[in-house]
Amino acid sequence: MEQRVVTLFHRSLEATMNAGEVLAPLVAEASEMVVHTLLAENKLLLCGNGVSGALAQSFCAQLLGGFQRERPGLPAIALNGDAVSMGTVSRNHGRAEIFARPVRALGQPGDLLVILSSDGRDSNLIQAMRAARDRDMGILALTGGDGGDCAALLDTHDIELRVPSEVAAEVHQVHLLTIFCLCDLIDSSLFGGYED
């Protein structure tokens, strides 16, 4: 059992290092995209399902509540954080609309939709991306594997942070670290300096 734990830690480190080499320039570019959105007085709408939904809520919480320094809250809404609205939309319009409907209601031109998915195949995220496109919003997609259908919907103004792994657990762990990197870069860009 102990050796299995050591093996899992080694696999985790290897997945993280491989992803870091691939994603570093894109994470920097994505942080600039978020900063540009915020400086233009726009907001972020975030969503995901399951573990990816929890990561979307975590990202939102760190934008609103602060990351590693005291600073003003940044405008972000986790669309999967409102179970009552999600349930109502699902019942009245179908599960595929649970994120698209609030994107249409809350999204404004210049806002940024942030989707998180380990494989990019969730129909409700795809519909949210289409709604964002209709609202003239940018899209930041954190995906894994081959990016799925979500990757196919992105255009040249969007950014995809695709983890080069098919293993959902590895994708989620890299997404969490990516969120921490984004928060650090966003805070540094908006509020000055890098903290060690």
The CATH code for residues 25-189 is: 3.40.50.10490
Residue 130, pLDDT above cutoff 90 = yes
Residue 195, pLDDT above cutoff 70 = no
| pLDDT tens column, 68-118 | 889 999 999 999 988 888 888 888 888 889 999 999 999 999 999 999 999
| pLDDT tens column, 39-75 | 999 999 999 999 999 999 999 999 999 998 899 999 9
pLDDT at 194 (0 to 100): 61
Provide the phi-psi class of 111: left if phi over 0, else alpha when psi is between -120 and 50, else beta. Answer: beta
pLDDT at 90 (0 to 100): 84
From the CB of residue 66, how many other CB atoms can be counted at a distance below 10 Å? Answer: 15
Nearest by Cα to 48 from 133, 144, 136, 154? 144
The 10 Å CB-count burial string (b at 16+, else e) for 33-60 is bbbebbeeebbbbbbbbebbbbbbbbbb
CB contact set of 37 (below 8 Å; sequence gap of 6+): 43, 44, 110, 111, 112, 138
Position 125: which residue type?
L
From the CB of residue 93, how many other CB atoms can be counted at a distance below 10 Å? Answer: 13
Average pLDDT of the residues of the chain: 94
The region of weakest confidence among 18-22, 85-89, 157-161 is 85-89
Confidence class for position 174, pLDDT limits 50, 70, 90: very high
E strand or H helix that includes residue 19: helix 2-39
Residue 126, pLDDT above cutoff 70 = yes
| pTM of the model as a whole | 0.94
Average pLDDT over residues 4-19: 89
Higher per-residue confidence, 133 vs 13: 133
Residue written as token pair 């934008």? 63
